[in-house]
Amino acid sequence: MKALTQKLVETFSPSGYEAQIRAVVRAEIEPFADEIQVDALGNLIARKGQLKPGGSRIMLSAHIDEIGVIATHIDENGFVRFTTIGGVRPHTCLGGRVRFINGVQGVIGAERLDDLYKVPTFEQLYIDVGRDSRDGHPVRVGDVAGFDRPFADLGKRMVAKSMDDRIGAVVLIEAMRQIKDTPHELFFVFSVQEEVGVRGATTAAFGVDPDLGLAVDVTGTGDTPKARKMEVSLGNGPAIKVRDGGMLADPRVVDWMVQTAEKQHLPYQLEILEGGSTDARAIQLTRAGVPAGCLSIPCRYIHSPSEMVDTQDVENSIRLMVALLSQPVELK
């Protein structure tokens, strides 16, 4: 599982440019899928299983894009100005390294700051790729870059730049690998452009037209010094979403997930996320509406170059997902 995680998180694919990660994921799932397609927006959709008595058409979604930056201007001294793709925050950028699609690497610097105790604005930041003029510059306006950090194995914990949401893709890949028998027709969607407005899941959900939907994504924690109050901690098990900034999970789906976790003797937490949302919101609102929920993986330092998850939380998320999908679903 760690080797798969490292492979996915170290693959470069900001929102809108998911070709590389899509190819990596496709190679992993091809032996376990009955059918694979890529839709017009770029979502990778794998079908497994056929409907049997008591079965449902279920969509599972984990997004494979990541946050990044895009070049807006190159000045006469070769410094690259940029804007963001997704929820990049200035305080995580300074001194960070990035890699452009064409392989060019750079470091993020800042103009002279009058107050070193204030976070610089994006207007004060730039990317230095080691050039001193615009002539022959390897970066063009519109070129996209992702953050450049290696995977770190801390034993019980794993750290990487794009756990959000490659770790969700890991859960779906491993669940797909481990499910041997299911009454359901399962659609494993590795969605694109989530970080810029859950766009991929919106079109995928319309195309799949599921009876039931589950997203797999990361969620914040309340277990670091002076953290926002939140009843989610690393190491206490996967979180079952009740509410976030974009949706109320269907109470019947929440109960189904809780009862399955308890029956399987798996640890779990209940999640209330005050801001942000997931692919579950898009699934819930597709067509005439779909009962939807979300399996959340606790993650520290979300939308930074060093996002941290707990290995046991990931393993228990896989176990819970396999248990959920191996039996008929009765929402009460």
Instruction: Name residue, tokens 């006469």.
Output: 76
Contact of 201 with 191, CB cutoff 8 Å: yes
Would residue 250 count as lying in a domain?
Answer: yes
pLDDT per residue of the chain (332 residues) written in tens, 0 to 9: 899 999 999 999 999 999 999 999 999 999 999 999 999 999 999 999 999 998 999 999 999 999 999 999 999 999 999 999 999 999 999 999 999 999 999 999 999 988 888 899 999 999 999 999 999 999 999 999 999 999 999 999 999 999 999 999 999 999 999 999 999 999 999 999 999 999 999 999 999 999 999 999 999 999 999 988 999 999 999 999 999 999 999 999 999 999 999 999 999 999 999 989 999 999 999 999 999 999 999 999 999 999 999 999 999 999 999 999 999 998 98
Instruction: Name residue, tokens 């801390």.
Output: 154
Which of 147, 178, 195 is the last residue in one of the domains?
A: 147
Would residue 194 count as lying in a domain?
Answer: yes
Q: From edge to edge, which strands make up the β-sheet containing 307-310?
A: 152-153, 157-160, 307-310
38 and 91 part of one domain: no
Which of 117, 147, 177 is the last residue in one of the domains?
A: 147
Strand-pair partners of 185: 57
Q: How many CA atoms lie within 13 A of 189 on its CB side?
A: 38
189 and 241 part of one domain: yes
Which of 120, 147, 174 is the last residue in one of the domains?
A: 147
Instruction: Look up the pTM and report it.
Output: 0.95
Would residue 155 count as lying in a domain?
Answer: no
Would residue 152 count as lying in a domain?
Answer: no
Candidate list 174, 185, 194, 271, residue with the active-site label? 194
Would residue 295 count as lying in a domain?
Answer: yes
143 and 196 part of one domain: no
The CATH number given to whatever domain includes residue 213 is 3.40.630.10
Backbone angles phi and psi of 137, in degrees to 5: -65, 135
Q: Which domain holds residue 240?
A: 2-66+161-325
Examine the residue annotation and report whether 194 is marked as an active-site residue of this protein. yes
Nearest-angstrom CA–CA distance, 98 and 107: 6
Would residue 89 count as lying in a domain?
Answer: yes
20 and 104 part of one domain: no
Residues 6 or more apart in contact with residue 197 via CB below 8 angstroms:
none
Q: Output DSSP code: residue 119.
A: P
| Number of structural domains in the chain | 2
Contact of 259 with 317, CB cutoff 8 Å: no
185 and 254 part of one domain: yes
168 and 265 part of one domain: yes
87 and 229 part of one domain: no
Would residue 314 count as lying in a domain?
Answer: yes
Would residue 118 count as lying in a domain?
Answer: yes
pLDDT of residue 115: 87
Considering only CA atoms, which of 120, 134, 5, 17 is closest in space to residue 67?
17
Contact of 217 with 262, CB cutoff 8 Å: no
318 and 198 part of one domain: yes
